Amino acid sequence: MKKNETVLLAKEIEKVYDSGKNKVHALRNITLKLCKGEMLAIMGSSGSGKSTLLNILGALDSPTGGKIFIDGEEIKDYHIEPYATKYRSESIGFIFQSYNLLKDLTIEENLALPLILKGCSPKEIKDKVENLIKLIRLEGGENHRPVELSGGQQQRVAIARALITNPSVLLADEPTGNLGYY
């Protein structure tokens, strides 16, 4: 893929919450394009739709209207299972402000899970997990559960988990709020 190739294109994304009495337009006609290597910061006040947009781009929520393209291909029904899981495991990495680590799994297992779901070989899983644990400086902590880590350590694990599959797009919702220096 060339540097200026589009990896994510969202066209005319809309999200309307309809309670029956009221309609709330969380997103109106949002179009954005990201090319390989680009970063985009979405800023706005609380309630402006930032997290809603990230959730829609990541197939955690469904849009009321619009289309999503990844690597130039329209992803139809990307937000409906089983397509959503496939889309997330193959194309998207997530960094959540609340970590979303699985509390009953060790750090090693939390990192391995996306690779297992993707169907990677045991050797590839072992190698990638070991490399990322070294990168985030948690050697010796592989068998700890998230509750045994500081907030900054949990966030580093969450970032490593988002990167482990080498996704086309990385979505981050306030990813550095709990990080310290290490």
Does residue 10 belong to any structural domain of this protein?
yes
Does residue 169 belong to any structural domain of this protein?
yes
Provide the pLDDT for residue 10: 95
Residues 50 and 16 grouped into a single domain: yes
26-42 per-position pLDDT tens digit: 999 999 999 988 888 88
Provide the pLDDT for residue 145: 96
Q: How far is CA 33 from the centre of its chain?
A: 17
162 sits in which H/E element: helix 151-163
Does residue 1 belong to any structural domain of this protein?
no
Provide the pLDDT for residue 99: 83
pTM of the model: 0.79
Does residue 57 belong to any structural domain of this protein?
yes
Which pair of structure tokens corresponds to residue 164? 């482990």
Buried b (16+ CB within 10 A) or exposed e, 61-86: eebbebebbbeeeebeebbeeeebee
41-72 per-position pLDDT tens digit: 888 888 889 989 998 998 888 899 999 888 88
CATH of the domain at 14: 3.40.50.300
Q: Which residues form the domain of 58?
A: 6-79
Which pair of structure tokens corresponds to residue 71? 């690597």
Query: Which residue ranges in the chain fall short of pLDDT 50?
Result: none
Beta carbons of 92 and 114 less than 8 angstroms apart: no
Residues 88 and 147 grouped into a single domain: yes
Residues 99 and 133 grouped into a single domain: yes
Provide the pLDDT for residue 16: 96
Residues 101 and 170 grouped into a single domain: yes
Q: How many domains does the chain have?
A: 2
Provide the pLDDT for residue 122: 97
Residues 63 and 136 grouped into a single domain: no
Residues 69 and 115 grouped into a single domain: no
